[in-house]
Structures are given as C-alpha cells and as structure tokens.
Chains A and B, each alone.
Chain A
Amino acid sequence: MAHDAQGNLSYIEKQLAYFMLLVGLNPESLDSITIDEILTAARSLSKIATDRNNESLPTISISEEQGDIFAGAPEDVLLKNQRIFLILNIRRFWYWRQLAIGALSRG
C-alpha cells in the first residue's frame, strides 16, 4: 500500500490540536497561527526557576553527593523537563505537518 499523505496529515494535525488545547489555544486557528505563537503559549504555561530569577527561590542540587550539576528545586526540574518535552512535541509535529503538506502539494 502506498503512502497516504492525507491520512498522515490528519494524524499530525490531531496531535497538534491536542497540544494547542493543552497550551490554551484554539485548534481551529491552526491554519493561521505561527509556531512562534504556539511556543510562546507553551512557555507561558509553566514558569520555572530560570524565569523567576528575581524571586529569590531556593535552589538545591538534586544529587549533589554524586557531583551532578543541576541546580534547582525538584519541582523546577520536573517543570523544566515537562516544558522541554512539550516544546519538543510541538516543534516536531509542526515540522512533520510541513512535510505532510509538502507531500500533499505534489498531488
């Protein structure tokens, strides 16, 4: 069976719609919104220590005894990683959507 460009695009847009809802955006705006706007919304969803440097939050090394150098309260480490993967998800699906639209445009 040959590649189904429309089916592939449908799956990608369904995932993007989910992530847009997750960051408080309307999936109906997918055709007009920019990746920059989605990422800004994603970054606004959770504030981590690097965003709050002026708030004098306590920071600790989560495994100081092992010499690992990640300073931050555990909740900030959790939020940081969740945000990294949220943004990664959005970027990948946005990129894949461009590829799928390219495949469809060949007819």
Chain B
Amino acid sequence: MDDNSELYYSRLEKLVKYKALEIQETLDASTKINNYLLTLPLDKRREAVGRDLMTWFFEVFSAEDSAWNRSFVSEYTSSYVEMLYLAARPTKTLMSNPTFNYAIAKLMNSSTDLTFIDNYHLDYIEHCLADDNVSWNYATKTMQDVENDALGSFDFIFISEYDVFHDVALITKFCNALNAGGTMVLSHTNDDLRAYAAESEYTLSYEMHQVIKSISGLSVYHIPTAPGHTVVIKD
C-alpha cells in the first residue's frame, strides 16, 4: 500500500460510522487461526501457493507489522457488505467466508436466520474461535448442495469468487437461491485487478459477470475498490 492510498483512506475514515463492523475482531480472529495453521504441515512455497490472497490472508492480517493489519482499507471495503446487509434487512442469509469477515458474521448471527457454506471457514469458527463465547446459531449447506440445487432460498447471500472460480457456472446456483428482492454480494471479484486490465475479457471475473448478466431479472453492480465487490439484486 502506497502513501497516497494511506492518505486517501485516512480521510475516508473520518466520514463513516458503522453499525457493528470492528476490524480488530477480524485481526484477532486471524491471529488465532494463523496460530492453528502454523501447527499444520502446509506447503507454503511460492510454487505451491503462488501469490494468492486466499492462502496468506490469515498470515498477513495477523502480523502486527503488516500494512494489511494496520490499514483502514480492509475495514472500509468490509463496510460495503455491512451497508448492503443492513439495507437489505434479510430474514434468511447465506454466507461462505465468515473468518474473512468475522464482525459481519457475528452481526448476521445476531440478526438473521444464518446458514454457512461448509468449508474451512466453518472449521475455523468451530475449532479456532470456539473460545470467543459467541452463541452461534447456524445451519450449513455443502458445496455438493450447491451443485445439486439443494441450497434453499435466501434474502441475502454473501460469498466470494473463491466459491465459484473453479466452475463459474455455479454462480447460477447462487443466483437461483436468491429470493425476489434479494441481494447477493460477491467479494474478490476483480481477479487481482486483471478484470480492469487489457486482457479483461479473458478473465474468470469477466466470464462470471457475463453468466450473471445473462440471467433475467437480475441487476448487477460492481464496486472496484480493493479486491472488488459485485452486487446482484433480484427483481
């Protein structure tokens, strides 16, 4: 992160007030999760993991000397989800990435009928963060449920491109699970900025957006800040 970005976000920070978002909670959760990950024999060589945010998220967010840890950017980009969630006032919510967005997950847990996609995030919630004394109340759906059109229906869906990047057609399943008037927020949808570059039309992000746009009755928006958020609203 360069000095200009720091200055830009330091000014934005003075303009906003959140309902529940507290980035420190995500940072503290990241530390607990990273401490667990350090006990696993993970192959973290560059060749094995590349430069993928997904694989180093907890490491950089838990490191006190990391720019990601100290920056307001992460909190600010998370605020898009809080804002959209509060505006939607959903009764039923589906979420896939609670440990990337811990404060928002807790907000959802306290204010909606919450369902998690069963993945490593749920394992971390149950194994690494169990001593946080959060009274969780959630149902689960698996990726097999996604493939088999057995998701059910929701007023608000918060997932990331990580959930569908291997088969962008899966985004149709999530769109179909939206109730009328429902909102879906997808995070990390700019493919590490490739979606805005010269080769944009060859990216998975582009392909995924075309799939969503091809479905009738959906409006599609994109917020280009940081990792990119795409918002889908069903008629």
Q: Are A98 and B40 in contact (CB under 8 A)?
A: yes
Q: Which of A5, A68, A91 contacts B198 (CB 8 A)?
A: A68
Tell yes or no: B50 within 8 A of A by CB: yes
CB distance from A97 to the nearest CB of B (A): 10
Size band of the A side of the interface? Answer: 35 or more
Nearest residue, chain B, Cβ from A78: B202
| Cα distance, A99 to B120, chains bound together (Å) | 7
Q: Which of B142, B165, B197 contacts A68 (CB 8 A)?
A: B197
Nearest residue, chain B, Cβ from A99: B120
Tell yes or no: B173 within 8 A of A by CB: no
Residues facing A in B20-47 (CB within 8 A) are: 40-43, 47
Tell yes or no: B210 within 8 A of A by CB: no
CB distance from A58 to the nearest CB of B (A): 17
Q: Are A92 and B120 in contact (CB under 8 A)?
A: no
B interface footprint on A85-102 (CB within 8 Å = 1, 0 otherwise): 101110111111011101
| Cα distance, A92 to B48, chains bound together (Å) | 9
Tell yes or no: A57 within 8 A of B by CB: no
| Cα distance, A68 to B194, chains bound together (Å) | 12
Nearest residue, chain A, Cβ from B206: A81
| Cα distance, A43 to B139, chains bound together (Å) | 40
Number of A-B residue pairs having CB atoms within 8 Å of each other in the complex = 106
Q: Are B199 and A81 in contact (CB under 8 A)?
A: yes
Residues of chain A within 8 A of B126, CB atoms compared = 2-3
Q: Are A89 and B199 in contact (CB under 8 A)?
A: no
| Cα distance, A66 to B50, chains bound together (Å) | 30
B interface footprint on A36-49 (CB within 8 Å = 1, 0 otherwise): 10010000000000
Number of interface residues of B (CB under 8 A): 33
Residues facing B in A11-69 (CB within 8 A) are: 11, 15, 35-36, 39, 61-63, 66, 68-69
Contacts A35-B43, A98-B43, A103-B120 given; indicate if A81 touches B144 (C-beta within 8 A). Answer: no
Residues facing A in B199-234 (CB within 8 A) are: 199, 202-204
List, sorted by A's number, 18 A–B pairs whose CB atoms are closer than 8 Å: A2-B140, A3-B126, A3-B140, A8-B120, A11-B144, A35-B43, A63-B198, A68-B197, A77-B198, A81-B203, A88-B50, A92-B52, A92-B55, A95-B49, A95-B54, A96-B119, A100-B120, A102-B41
| A interface list, Cβ under 8 A from B | 1-5, 7-8, 10-11, 15, 35-36, 39, 61-63, 66, 68-70, 77-78, 80-82, 84-85, 87-89, 91-96, 98-100, 102-103, 106
